[in-house]
Amino acid sequence: MSDAETLFERIIAGEIPSDKVYETETTFAFRDIQPQARVHVLVVPKKRYRNVAELAAGDPQLLADMLTTAAKVAELEGIAESGYRVVFNTDSDAGQTVFHVHAHVLGGEQLGFFGRLAK
Catalytic residues: 102
Calculate ∠ Cα 79-80-83, nearest 5°: 75
Contact 67, 55 (CB under 8 A): no
Please name the residues in contact with 119: beta carbons below 8 A apart, sequence gap of 6 or more.
Answer: none
**CA-CA distances (angstroms) from residue 46 to 1, 9, 102?**
16, 7, 10
Contact 63, 101 (CB under 8 A): no
